[in-house]
């Protein structure tokens, strides 16, 4: 009889915490900005920034010292490449450099005087190409375009000279995950997971700051707190945030990739199943971090910058195989690291959940670990209050 009653009592408390937290969140504009405004707007804003996908028509200046039909034909072929747009002919390298300094071009192609003569003699012609290196995406676009250009020009010249096609072996490149090789298609799926985690952490730590402020105001106890054991409080609150996030998860992870035609090869069920532990791990991590926030607004100072750090730790921009063990360990402790890895594999590579077991289990492990931390921290805070 007794244990049964006490279990019932716990459920009543759980429900009370859940309901109270709902009222607190919905009545707090600051938290609503991070819980709803951020997850709704950021995916759209980020995708709009990167949606042009590739660097097209990058201005290139030509210094044509050869000035023959052959050299002009080569320039026309270059201009036809997707990445390159010929802005004009410069008289010499100095003039072209001046254009580059003025940002009127980001590449300079120099056709040497003996270009046509060499081609005519059946010798190899070398064409220097100067690349401005401020952005690696531009460099990458040039690199691909120039490789293709040199092959295409070779084919044309051999045809002109009546030489047979010379390639005993064909080669075919197939791009997986992001077949368009676009930047948005690559980066947005990962960013989506990070947005989910960071909006939870920011909102929850802000709520924690609110609790601390109310405590200070009312002499050590929060009038809005429901009386319940620490573990029940943590669980009840986390269920409240999870309930609030269900529509957002569907919007961010299912709707956004379809709306912007980003890769979405995985099964929706797998995506949703996979993301549950990520959401719980992020919630509990946020609750464990509440300790460090004594004031609502300081949560932004403390945690906004972590988005950049977590992005790098996740291995999205800098692959994990190139990290030192220290950063691997730190990254392992962050839910987004596993969340991004698993979600990108499911979403972009079409992996099944069973192929993402490692990140999935790691996320559950983190969820449990952060739950214990959050509960312990809550318990310690309450006991300090008693003194």
Partner 1 sequence: MGTVGFWNTVKRGIRQLACRRIYVVAMVIVPVGSALFFLDLLDEGLPLGVPVAVVDLDDSPMSRDVIRSLDAMDVVDIGVEAASYTEAYDLTRRGEIFGFFMIPDDFGKEAVSGRKPTISYYCNMAGYIPGTLSFKGFKTVAVSTSGKMVETVLVSTGMDESGADAVLQPVVIQEHLIGNPWSNYAIYLGNSFIPGVVALMTMLVAAYSIGDEIKCGSSRQWLETARGSIAVAVAGKLFPQAVVFSVIGIFCQSLLYGYMHFPLNGSPLLVVTAMVLLVVASQAFALIFCCIIPNLRLSLSIVSLLGILSFSITGFSFPVQNMYGAVGIFSYIIPLRYYFLIYVDQALNGIPLYYSRWYFAALLTFPVVAMSLLWNLKRACIRSVYVP
Instruction: Write out the binding residues for partner 1, residues 63-82 only, by CB under 8 A.
Output: 74
- The contact mask relative to partner 1 for 125-154 (x = CB under 8 A, - = no) is xxxxxxxxxxxxxxxx-xx--xx-xx--xx
Q: Which range, of 231-239, 272-280, 338-346, 376-384, touches partner 1 by CB under 8 A?
A: 338-346
Per CB under 8 A, 257 contacts partner 1: no
- Number of residues in contact with partner 1 under rule CB under 8 A: 108
If you write DSSP's letter for every residue of 58-92 in order, what string do you get?
EEEEEEESS-SHHHHHHHHHHHHSSSEEEEEE-SS
Give least dist CB 251 to partner 1, A.
18
Comparing CB distances to partner 1, the nearer of 11 and 123 is 123
Instruction: Note whether 51 binds partner 1 by CB under 8 A.
Output: yes
Q: Give the chain's end-to-end CA distance (angstroms, integer).
A: 34
Show contacts with partner 1 in window 161-220 (CB under 8 A). 163, 166-179, 181, 183, 185-187, 189, 213, 217
Task: Assign 301 to helix, strand or coil.
Answer: helix
| Residues sharing a CB contact under 8 Å with residue 354, sequence separation 6 or more, in sequence order | none
Among 16, 24, 33, 272, binds partner 1 (CB under 8 A): 33
Which span sits near partner 1 by CB under 8 A: 30-38, 226-234, 249-257, 372-380? 30-38
One of 82, 251, 333, 350 touching partner 1 (CB under 8 A): 350
The residue (of 263 and 277) whose beta carbon lies closer to partner 1 is: 263
Q: Is 35 in the site for partner 1 (CB under 8 A)?
A: no
Give the Cα separation of 47 and 183 in Å (integer): 10
| Distance, CA of 387 to CA of 382 (rounded, Å) | 9
Angle at 201 between CA 199 and CA 205, to 5 degrees: 120
Cβ at position 380, least distance to partner 1 in Å: 19
Question: Is 230 a binder of partner 1 (CB under 8 A)?
Answer: no
Question: Do 356 and 345 meet the contact criterion of CB atoms below 8 Å apart?
Answer: yes
State yes or no: residue 386 binds partner 1 (CB under 8 A).
Answer: no
Interface region with partner 1, contact rule CB under 8 A, candidates 49-57, 61-69, 227-235, 363-371: 49-57
Closer to partner 1 at the Cβ: 148 or 372? Answer: 148
| Among positions 75, 192, 275, 351, the unique one binding partner 1 when judged by CB under 8 A | 351
Nearer to partner 1, 3 or 164 (CB): 164
Under rule CB under 8 A, residue 22 binds partner 1: no
**Interacting residues with partner 1 between 288 and 307 (CB under 8 A):** 296-298, 300-302, 304-305, 307
CA distance 114 to 218: 86
Q: Tell the residue number behind the tokens 């940002």, with chain if given.
A: 103
Which residue, 355 or 364, has its beta carbon nearer to partner 1?
355
What are the φ and ψ backbone dihedral angles of 200, each rounded to 5 degrees?
-65, -50
Task: Check residue 4 for interaction with partner 1 (CB under 8 A).
Answer: no
Q: Are 366 and 281 in contact (CB under 8 A)?
A: yes
Count CB neighbours of 386 within 10 A: 6
Q: How far apart are CA 350 and CA 176, in angstroms?
A: 10
Closest C-alpha to 194, from 335, 97, 354, 17: 335
Rounded Cα–Cα distance for residues 256 and 184 (Å): 12
**45, 266 in Cβ contact below 8 A?**
no
Of residues 69 and 174, the one with the C-beta less far from partner 1: 174
Among 65, 68, 267, 355, binds partner 1 (CB under 8 A): 355
């Amino acid at each position: 009889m007794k244990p049964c009653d006490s279990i019932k009592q716990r459920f009543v408390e759980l429900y009370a915490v859940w309901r109270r937290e709902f009222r607190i969140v919905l009545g707090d504009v600051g938290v609503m900005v991070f819980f709803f405004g951020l997850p709704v707007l950021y995916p759209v804003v980020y995708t709009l920034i990167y949606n042009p996908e590739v660097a097209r028509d990058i201005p290139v200046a030509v210094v044509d010292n050869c000035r023959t039909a052959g050299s002009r034909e080569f320039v026309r072929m270059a201009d036809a490449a997707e990445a390159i747009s010929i802005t004009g002919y410069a008289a010499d390298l100095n003039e072209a450099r001046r254009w580059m300094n003025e940002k009127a071009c980001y590449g300079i192609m120099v056709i040497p005087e003996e270009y046509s003569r060499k081609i005519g003699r059946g010798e190899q012609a070398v064409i220097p190409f100067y690349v401005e290196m401020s952005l690696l995406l531009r460099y990458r676009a040039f690199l691909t375009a120039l490789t293709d250009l040199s092959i295409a020009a070779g084919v044309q010249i051999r045809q002109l000279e009546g030489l047979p096609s010379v390639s005993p072996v064909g080669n075919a490149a197939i791009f997986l995950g992001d077949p368009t090789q676009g930047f948005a298609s690559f980066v947005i799926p990962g960013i989506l997971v990070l947005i989910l985690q960071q909006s939870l952490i920011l909102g929850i730590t802000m709520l924690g700051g609110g609790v601390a402020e109310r405590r200070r105001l009312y002499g050590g106890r929060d009038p809005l707190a429901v009386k319940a054991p620490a573990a029940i409080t943590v669980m009840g609150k986390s269920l409240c945030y999870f309930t609030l996030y269900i529509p957002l998860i569907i919007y961010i992870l299912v709707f956004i990739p379809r709306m912007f035609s980003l890769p979405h090869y995985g099964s929706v069920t797998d995506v949703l199943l996979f993301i549950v532990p990520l959401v719980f791990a992020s919630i509990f991590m946020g609750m464990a971090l509440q300790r460090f926030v004594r004031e609502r607004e300081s949560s932004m100072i403390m945690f906004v910058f972590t988005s950049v750090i977590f992005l790098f730790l996740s291995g999205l921009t800098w692959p994990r195989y190139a990290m030192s063990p220290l950063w691997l360990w730190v990254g392992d402790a962050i839910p987004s690291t596993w969340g991004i890895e698993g979600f990108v594999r499911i979403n972009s590579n079409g992996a099944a959940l069973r192929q993402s077991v490692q990140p999935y289990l790691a996320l559950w492990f983190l969820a449990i670990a952060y739950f214990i931390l959050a509960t312990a921290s809550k318990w310690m805070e309450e006991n300090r209050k008693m003194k």
